[in-house]
Chains A and B, each alone.
Chain A
Amino acid sequence: MALSSYVLLVILGSGLVTWLSRVVPFILLKQFKLPKIIVNFLGFVPICIMTALWMESLFIQHLGQFPSLNVPNALASIPTLISAMISKNLLVIVIVGVISLAVVNLLI
């Protein structure tokens, strides 16, 4: 099995910056408490990030122009969202999502 030094350097370098992004806040916040306004601010991170990640998959970027709709993902999102409302169960939602996209890909 091949392991080139170029790929190894990329893996280690990217690993290091990713690790620091993940760990530094844990080290700092073990020692300091955040002020209330920042805590309020960070309280919105979950819904903002999850919405933004969803939108990333819903739109196709063309820099300089407005994005176009990723039609298969948009169509698959509808039954997924409905299954979320009905089941409130993550496993069900994920399975419905995967089947929805597979069906959409078959039909389009």
Chain B
Amino acid sequence: MTSDLDTRSALQETLPTVFGYIGIALAFGITAKANGLSVLEILLMSLITYAGSAEFVIVSLIALHAGVGSIVLSVFLVNARMILMSTVVAPYLSHESMAKNIWAGTLLTDETFALSMNKLNYTGRKLNFRWLDTANLFAYLVWAFASAVGGMLGNLINNPEKYGFSFALVAMFIGLLYLQMISDRTIKLLVQVLVILFVVVLMYLGMRWLPQNGLLLVVTLLGCAFGVVLKHGIK
């Protein structure tokens, strides 16, 4: 990553994400097709709902003919973490116009969020609309295009899991987590390590009681609270 906040650096820095997106979106398209959705429905879902992992949830619920209300509620729960991510990114764009803020929020994802958090460590904790918008748009278009292609390939490929692409985004989270740890100077390394261990333990224990999607949000909030306590405790 560089300190430049221009279109070119945004494209370069989003490339690994996009590579991950292609694999997951193809897998999504194939799965959705196998569950009876048409290519048009797959494309519209990726363009309008644009919700990554939640789209897999939607497809599995549609296959069960679940009610619209219960599907929408599930999607809200899966995506409630977006509220937190947008809250973290928004202050860095508050110098931009309202329209630009709304547009940047509209296309923010786990991945472009994680990228921008990493970017902050290289730019003296600054972000701008142009960089984030380029990253967002690049990811958005590739996601929509690749999920439609997945739908067209449809039944030609079964069991897309075995090619390893499903791991692309996990690998990205591992990479961004490590890069974040070593480059974020605003939080001490010891505090970061302790918070990470805390989250690992809580995720493991919590899976016994709470469904994963709700758990992710609860554990993130508890992890942040633990972090604040540690930050004040460890000087």
Q: How large is the interface on B (under 10, 10 to 19, 20 to 34, 35 or more residues)?
A: 35 or more
Shortest Cβ gap from B161 to chain A (Å): 8
Do B101 and A30 have beta carbons less than 8 Å apart? yes
Q: List, in ascending order, chain A residues with CB within 8 A of B209's CB.
A: 63
> Which residues of B lie under 8 Å from residue A50 when comparing CB positions?
114, 173, 176-177, 180
Contact A94 B19 (CB under 8 A): yes
User: How far is A14 from B64 in the complex, measured between Cα atoms in Å?
Assistant: 17
- For B180, the chain A residues whose CB sits under 8 A away are 46-47, 50
**Which of A7, A8, A30, A66 has a CB less than 8 Å from the CB of B204?**
A66
**In the assembly, what is the distance between CA of A93 and CA of B172, in Å?**
7
Q: Which residues of B contact A24 (CB under 8 A)?
A: 83, 86
Among B81, B161, B171, B177, which residue has its beta carbon within 8 angstroms of that of A47? B177
Evaluate contact between A59 and B164: CB separation under 8 angstroms.
Answer: no
Mostly, the A contact residues are helix
Give the tally of cross-chain contacts (CB within 8 A).
298
By size class, the interface of chain A is 35 or more
Docked CA distance A53–B140 (Å): 20
- Expressed in whole angstroms, the Cα–Cα distance for A51 and B104 within the complex equals 24
Contact A26 B175 (CB under 8 A): no
Q: Which residues on A sit within 8 Å (CB–CB) of B117?
A: 46
- Interface residues in B3-24 (C-beta closer than 8 Å to A): 13, 15-17, 19-20, 23
B138 within 8 A of A: no
Cβ B68 vs Cβ A48 within 8 A? no
Nearest opposing residue in chain A for B217, CB measure: A52
Report whether A101 and B207 are in contact in the complex, using a CB–CB cutoff of 8 Å. Answer: no
Contact with B along A4-36 (1 / 0, CB 8 A): 101111111111111101111111111001100
B150 close to A (CB within 8 Å): no
Whether the Cβ atoms of B87 and A42 lie closer than 8 Å is: yes
**CB closest chain-B residue, reference A99:** B164
Q: Are A52 and B220 in contact (CB under 8 A)?
A: yes
Interface string of B156-189 (1 = CB under 8 A from A): 0000011111111011111111111110101100
Flag if A2 contacts B172 (CB, 8 Å): no
Task: Tell me the bound Cα distance from A2 to B178 in angstroms.
Answer: 44
Q: A55-B200, A84-B178 are in contact. Are A98 and B171 (CB under 8 A)?
A: yes
> A45–B176 Cα gap in the complex (Å)?
13
> When chains A and B are docked, how far (Å) is the Cα of A53 from the Cα of B230?
22
Chain B residues with CB under 8 A of A71: none
| Residues B224 and A11 in contact, CB atoms below 8 Å apart | no
Contact A56 B212, beta carbon cutoff 8 Å: yes
A23 to B209, CA, bound (A): 31
Q: Interface on A for B, CB 8 Å cutoff? A: 1-4, 6-19, 21-30, 33-34, 37, 39-57, 59, 61-67, 73, 76-77, 80-81, 84-85, 88, 90-91, 93-103, 105
16 pairs from A and B in contact (CB 8 Å cutoff): A2-B40, A11-B58, A12-B48, A14-B58, A21-B79, A25-B90, A27-B105, A43-B224, A45-B84, A46-B88, A53-B173, A56-B212, A63-B207, A93-B174, A94-B19, A102-B164
